[in-house]
């Protein structure tokens, strides 16, 4: 009776606890990425630090739960209040530490990141074994306790993802969202403490009654799965589950153009599936307790095989479905798959952990093993295999591992011909997956990019999958980075298919761009034009994805860039590179920034970044970057800097006056040559006409049409036109959580 009364309100508490935990994860990771960069090394370090903290917390929570003298509800309440207190001060702490450590070596960065998130993640990780131990003391059923609480907590996190994508991030920003999460933690903590003081006498009696006796001790030997094998199985499940999430994030990120909301919705679907799987395991654990427990292993084997076969088909089915449905309509594929995966962990706990006073501790070991497996998946798949294998090959590996896991469970309950049949079925499934994988994944990225306009003739000229992302090139030279337009292989203003005019326009407003920094390489077209500016002496290019260097040599227009003695290319996050090189100063900093709504792009558009860039400009220096038509981005630049000039959708900002000099620009353009070949052959009428059209852009800055899109515009007119728009900051994240979501 007490079990039936205790379970609902404990689930409510743990549901609410999962809500702020996910908000913290999104905000803290984002804050750390802004400090230490968003290249794959930094992302791996930050994500691994979070998960390892949860694992350590689980271990400590399990240790506490072993003692019958520990008031578990009061401990849970104290933990929630402690998380709330840390949350209130967390962003200020991160920023303060980041100011002094952002330039540190990667090893130091990893240790600092782990130290920063250690306390809150340890506290978060300790709550599951503590509450499971409390519920097991009442119910006497490990599997149903784990399933119910895991369901509630994970569902709370899934709801937090949905609400974050819909309005929390957009309306509250980073600091406001953290305060919301802290308030929820504080309410949960106070409620848990209040309930503890109301029922503490009953809790003490329950704890005493859960002491090990002969019957309980005997149950340990009746469990069908030995605990060491359960540890291995939990680790493999964690490895497979998180590795699939990495694969799915890769394809959904590409299909959405790396939209922040897409990741939140994907994570929500993933967590919803885990929650539903945990809920599904709850009645199964109740039905197969006692002497029936060994039969649960057959169910685990079936879940493992079904989960991995279905998970294998998620990516190709999603790509095929985009021909007729919008991207968000394919998310149930994730939910179904993770529902099957999510049922495994509670079932493994149920068949390997006796319902005694050590249930919480043993759960913590399994949870730690699961997290270690997850971290291993992050490191091996996300950091290593994605540089060598395609998503098809990785999916085949994961599906095969899942089939082997299913057969391993079948070994414990099946014998003779039934076992041989199970092995044969698994081998047949592995063979089928291997053989069918190539046609299933064929042109998957083309389908994800073109969606309902996809044709059977659609095929990329080049496709590079690496740990830095996916780069695709269409037959006509259009570059797609992360599933969105990222440039075109063209350096000629005579055939201006990529608005390369904006690169040549540097000569109109900058009198001496001798030392130049470019953040972002992409196709190399912009870099090739700037590197051949008649006055340039030295150019540093910082690019986050080294895979672009594999493309550039294949296109003659830009291949010479890699041999240019004036050019130095560095692989790093642009913002982090600036922090790590405070003494480097430039006449010109150029950024052909991606769309203003893409994930993490506000790191290069915010007031904080613009102030950072200012410190790297020489006297008279100019920052010149793409606003992709965002009036918020334009007003932000024209507010932080006193002088500004819009060139179509680019913005030049400086602490020194900026003037458009048409005559100087003409001289520069007439001298321009790329790889020794003049850009304009003035003996040809068509070239002279194009030069005249280009120079006419300078006339628009003084006309009444300066506020038109295809024009030049000074700061005063720009500020008047964009008045009332919000300034982009690291905290509000610009329009990343807005409605600009590719369907």
Beta bridge partners of 113: none
CB atoms within 10 A of CB 536: 20
Q: For position 63, what pLDDT does the model report? A: 83
Q: Do 258 and 324 reside in the same domain of the chain?
A: yes
Integer Cα distance of 287 and 514 in angstroms: 76
Cβ atoms of residues 335 and 310 within 8 Å: no
Q: For residue 497, give the DSSP letter.
A: S
Q: Which residue has the higher pLDDT, 365 or 425?
A: 365
Q: For position 294, what pLDDT does the model report? A: 58
- Decide if 484 is inside a domain: no
Q: For position 102, what pLDDT does the model report? A: 67
Q: What is the model's pTM?
A: 0.90
Q: For position 212, what pLDDT does the model report? A: 45
- Decide if 513 is inside a domain: yes
293-322: per-residue pLDDT in tens? 556 677 777 778 888 889 999 999 999 999
Q: Do 75 and 136 reside in the same domain of the chain?
A: yes
Cβ atoms of residues 80 and 188 within 8 Å: yes
Please give the tally of structural domains in the chain.
Answer: 3
Cα angle vertex 650, ends 645, 651, to 5°? 35
Most confident by average pLDDT, 257-261, 409-413, 692-696: 692-696
Integer Cα distance of 58 and 277 in angstroms: 21
Provide the CATH number for the domain around residue 323: 1.20.1250.20
Q: How far are the Cα atoms of 185, 299, 337, 406, 439 from residue 350, in angstroms, in the given order?
A: 29, 12, 21, 17, 40
Q: Which residue, chain included where needed, has tokens 């030279």?
A: 477
Integer Cα distance of 537 and 515 in angstroms: 6
Summarize the confidence of residues 706-728 as an average pLDDT. Answer: 94
Domain that holds residue 320: 222-459
Q: How far are the Cα atoms of 125, 259, 262, 385, 632 from residue 266, in angstroms, in the given order?
A: 23, 11, 6, 22, 28
Summarize the confidence of residues 611-632 as an average pLDDT. Answer: 97
Q: For position 67, what pLDDT does the model report? A: 75
Q: Do 323 and 365 reside in the same domain of the chain?
A: yes
Q: Looking at 211, 234, 250, which one is the last position of a domain?
A: 211
- Decide if 730 is inside a domain: no
Q: Do 171 and 241 reside in the same domain of the chain?
A: no
One DSSP character per residue, 387-412 reads GTS-HHHHHHHHHHHHHHHHHHHHHH
- Decide if 362 is inside a domain: yes
Here the contacts of 43-46 (C-beta below 8 Å, separation 24 or greater) are 43/382, 44/378, 44/379, 44/382, 44/383, 45/106, 45/109, 45/110, 45/113, 46/113
Q: Do 437 and 311 reside in the same domain of the chain?
A: yes
State yes or no: pLDDT of 406 exceeds 90: no
Integer Cα distance of 273 and 261 in angstroms: 18
3-state secondary structure of 475: coil
Q: Looking at 459, 489, 514, which one is the last position of a domain?
A: 459
Q: For residue 722, give the DSSP letter.
A: T
H or E segment at 481? strand 478-481
Structure tokens at 108: 């130091």
CB atoms within 10 A of CB 146: 31
68-118: per-residue pLDDT in tens? 777 878 888 999 999 999 999 999 988 888 777 766 676 777 778 788 888
- Decide if 472 is inside a domain: no
Cβ atoms of residues 600 and 33 within 8 Å: yes
Integer Cα distance of 141 and 145 in angstroms: 6
State yes or no: pLDDT of 133 exceeds 80: no
Beta bridge partners of 516: 539, 588
Q: Do 339 and 206 reside in the same domain of the chain?
A: no
Q: For position 217, what pLDDT does the model report? A: 39
Q: Do 301 and 437 reside in the same domain of the chain?
A: yes
Q: Which residue has the higher pLDDT, 83 or 207?
A: 83
Q: For position 222, what pLDDT does the model report? A: 61
Q: Do 178 and 246 reside in the same domain of the chain?
A: no
- Decide if 488 is inside a domain: no
253-265: per-residue pLDDT in tens? 999 988 888 888 8
Q: Looking at 192, 211, 230, which one is the last position of a domain?
A: 211
- Decide if 743 is inside a domain: no
Q: For position 284, what pLDDT does the model report? A: 72
One DSSP character per residue, 656-698 reads S-----HHHHHHHHHH-EETTEES--TTSHHHHHHHHHHHGGG
Is residue 149 very low, low, confident or very high in pLDDT (cuts 50, 70, 90)?
confident
Q: Do 40 and 183 reside in the same domain of the chain?
A: yes
267-278: per-residue pLDDT in tens? 999 999 999 988
Is residue 175 very low, low, confident or very high in pLDDT (cuts 50, 70, 90)?
very high
Is residue 506 very low, low, confident or very high in pLDDT (cuts 50, 70, 90)?
very high
Q: For position 111, what pLDDT does the model report? A: 78
Q: Which residue, chain included where needed, has tokens 């090893």?
A: 107
586-618: per-residue pLDDT in tens? 999 999 999 999 989 999 999 999 999 999 999
Backbone angles phi, psi at 315, to 5 degrees: -60, -50
Strands 712-714 and 643-647: what pairing?
A: antiparallel
- Decide if 732 is inside a domain: no
Q: Do 537 and 420 reside in the same domain of the chain?
A: no
Backbone angles phi, psi at 587, to 5 degrees: -75, -30
Integer Cα distance of 392 and 386 in angstroms: 11
Q: Do 323 and 436 reside in the same domain of the chain?
A: yes
Q: For position 741, what pLDDT does the model report? A: 46
Q: Which residue, chain included where needed, has tokens 């802290």?
A: 182
State yes or no: pLDDT of 41 exceeds 80: no
Q: Do 171 and 249 reside in the same domain of the chain?
A: no
């Amino acid at each position: 009776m007490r079990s039936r009364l205790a379970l609902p309100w404990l689930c409510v508490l743990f549901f609410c606890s999962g809500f702020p935990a996910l908000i913290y994860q999104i905000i803290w990771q984002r804050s750390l990425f802004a400090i230490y960069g968003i290249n794959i090394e930094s992302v791996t370090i930050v994500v691994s630090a979070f998960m390892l903290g949860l694992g350590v917390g689980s271990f400590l929570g399990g240790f506490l739960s072993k003692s019958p003298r520990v008031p578990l509800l009061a401990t849970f309440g104290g933990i929630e209040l402690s998380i709330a207190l840390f949350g209130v001060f967390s962003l200020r702490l991160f920023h303060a530490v980041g100011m002094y450590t952002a330039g540190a070596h990667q090893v130091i960065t990893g240790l600092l990141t782990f130290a920063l998130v250690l306390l809150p993640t340890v506290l978060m990780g300790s709550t599951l074994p503590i509450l499971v131990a409390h519920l097991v003391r009442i119910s006497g059923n490990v599997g149903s306790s784990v399933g119910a609480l895991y369901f509630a907590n994970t569902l709370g996190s899934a709801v937090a993802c949905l609400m974050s994508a819909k309005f929390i991030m957009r309306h509250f920003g980073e600091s406001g969202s953290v305060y919301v999460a802290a308030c929820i933690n504080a309410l949960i903590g106070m409620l848990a403490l209040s309930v503890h003081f109301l029922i503490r006498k009953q809790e003490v009696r329950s704890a005493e009654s859960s002491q090990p006796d002969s019957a309980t001790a005997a149950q340990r030997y009746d469990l069908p799965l030995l605990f060491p094998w359960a540890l291995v199985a939990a680790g493999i499940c964690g490895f497979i589950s998180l590795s699939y999430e990495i694969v799915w994030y890769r394809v959904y990120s590409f299909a959405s153009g790396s939209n922040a909301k897409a990741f939140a919705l994907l994570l929500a679907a993933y967590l919803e599936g885990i929650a539903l799987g945990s809920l599904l395991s709850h009645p199964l654990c109740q039905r197969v307790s006692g002497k029936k427990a060994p039969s649960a292993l057959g169910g685990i084997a079936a879940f493992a095989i079904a989960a991995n076969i279905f998970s294998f088909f998620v990516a190709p089915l999603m790509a095929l479905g985009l021909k007729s449905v919008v991207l968000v309509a394919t998310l149930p594929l994730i939910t179904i798959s993770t529902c099957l995966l999510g049922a495994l962990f509670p079932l493994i706990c149920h068949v390997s952990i006796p319902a005694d006073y050590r249930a919480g501790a043993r759960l913590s070991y399994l949870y730690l093993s699961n997290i270690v497996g997850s971290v291993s998946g992050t490191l091996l798949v996300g950091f290593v295999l994605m540089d060598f294998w395609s998503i098809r090959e990785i999916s085949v590996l994961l599906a095969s591992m899942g089939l082997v896991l299913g057969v391993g469970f079948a070994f414990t309950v099946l014998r003779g011909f039934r076992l041989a049949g199970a092995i044969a079925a698994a081998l047949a499934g592995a063979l089928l997956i291997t053989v069918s994988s190539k046609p299933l994944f064929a042109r998957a990225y083309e389908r994800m990019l073109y969606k309902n306009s996809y044709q059977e003739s659609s095929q990329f000229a080049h496709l590079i999958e690496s740990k830095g992302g996916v780069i695709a090139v269409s037959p006509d030279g259009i570059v797609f980075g992360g599933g969105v337009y990222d440039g075109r292989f063209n350096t000629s203003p005579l055939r201006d298919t990529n608005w390369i005019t904006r690169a040549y326009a540097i000569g109109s407003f900058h009198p001496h761009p001798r030392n130049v920094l470019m953040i972002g390489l992409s196709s190399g077209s912009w870099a090739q034009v700037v590197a051949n500016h008649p006055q340039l002496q030295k150019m540093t290019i910082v690019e986050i994805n080294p895979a672009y260097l594999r493309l550039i040599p294949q296109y003659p227009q830009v291949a010479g860039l890699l041999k240019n003695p004036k050019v130095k290319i560095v692989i790093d996050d642009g913002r982090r590179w600036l922090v790590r090189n405070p003494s480097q100063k430039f006449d010109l900093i150029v950024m052909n920034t991606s769309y203003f709504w893409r994930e993490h792009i506000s790191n290069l558009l915010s007031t904080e970044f613009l102030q950072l860039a200012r410190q790297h400009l020489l006297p008279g220096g100019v920052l010149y970057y793409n606003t992709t038509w965002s009036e918020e981005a334009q007003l932000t630049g024209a507010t932080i800097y006193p002088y500004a000039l819009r060139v179509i959708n680019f913005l030049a900002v400086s602490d020194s006056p900026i003037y458009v000099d048409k005559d100087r620009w003409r001289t520069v353009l007439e001298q321009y040559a790329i790889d020794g070949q003049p850009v304009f052959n003035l003996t040809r009428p068509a070239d002279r006409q194009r030069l005249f059209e280009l120079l006419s852009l300078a006339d628009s800055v003084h006309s009444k049409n300066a506020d038109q899109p295809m024009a030049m515009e000074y700061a005063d007119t720009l500020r008047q036109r964009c008045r009332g728009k919000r300034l982009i900051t690291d905290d509000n994240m610009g329009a990343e959580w807005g409605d600009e979501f590719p369907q």
